[in-house]
Amino acid sequence: MVGPSGSGKSSLLAVAATLVTPDAGTVTIDGTPTTGLSRGELAALRRRRIGIVFQQPHLIASLTAVEQLQVIARIDGRKPRTVRDRAMELLAAVGLADQAPRRPHQLSGGQRQRVNIARALMNDPTVLLVDEPTSALDHERGAAVIDLITRLTHQQATATVLVTHDPAHLTSVDKVAEVRDGRLTLPAAAG
């Protein structure tokens, strides 16, 4: 998803993530209409079906990389050993197996964003919503993060909606949609 600053891209992602209730229309996630669900039901839906990656990783300073991932699944009451295996598998998938015991201040910006992406995949989401994940990274690290997201999207069979301001990223996505003055135009073929 591309479009000028202030056009409504982040707002649309927040609505899709059920973090913001739309004034009109319905959000349906994996066949479940979200209209009328309670706050608790929405939180459970987000926890189980939606992966969210925002611009800033927002990792918990006191937790190691692997713990950032484990805490998500533990909230849902999954078994500790299974959770740890899955967390290590995802850290390996984003190329950070050897950084598992490190805390955020011991990681680079690109590494923190990769932990963030791995964390978003911890619940095997139906949809991954990603808002300008490369804005805090230099061009090369940014391109690596986009490659990682597109690779994991296919590997994990997740549908990903990615907001980016960098035209270089558009060649690696399946479809490009544009938001302008709060309106979404679908889709011009990519690349």
Stretch of residues binding ligand ADP (CB under 6 A), selected from 4-12, 47-55, 105-113, 141-149:
4-12
Q: Decide: is 70 part of the binding site for Mg ion (CB under 5 A).
A: no
**Residue 170, CA distances (Å) to 6, 38, 78, 88, 126 in order:** 20, 37, 37, 30, 22
In the bound complex, which residue of the shown chain has the CB atom lying closest to Mg ion? 10
Distance between CA atoms of residues 86 and 83, nearest Å: 5
State which amino acid sits at residue 108: S
- Pick the closer one to ligand ADP by CB: 23 or 140: 23
Query: Helix H segments across 50-159?
Result: 65-75, 80-93, 109-120, 139-155
- Pick the closer one to ligand ADP by CB: 19 or 75: 19
**DSSP character string of 124-149:** --SEEEEE-TTTTS-HHHHHHHHHHH
Single out the residue of 2, 3, 10, 129 in contact with Mg ion (rule: CB under 5 A).
Answer: 10
Given Mg ion, ligand ADP, none, residue 158, with its beta carbon under 5 to 8 Å by kind, binds none
Q: Decide: is 6 part of the binding site for ligand ADP (CB under 6 A).
A: yes
- Pick the closer one to ligand ADP by CB: 55 or 156: 55
Given ligand ADP, Mg ion, none, residue 172, with its beta carbon under 5 to 8 Å by kind, binds none
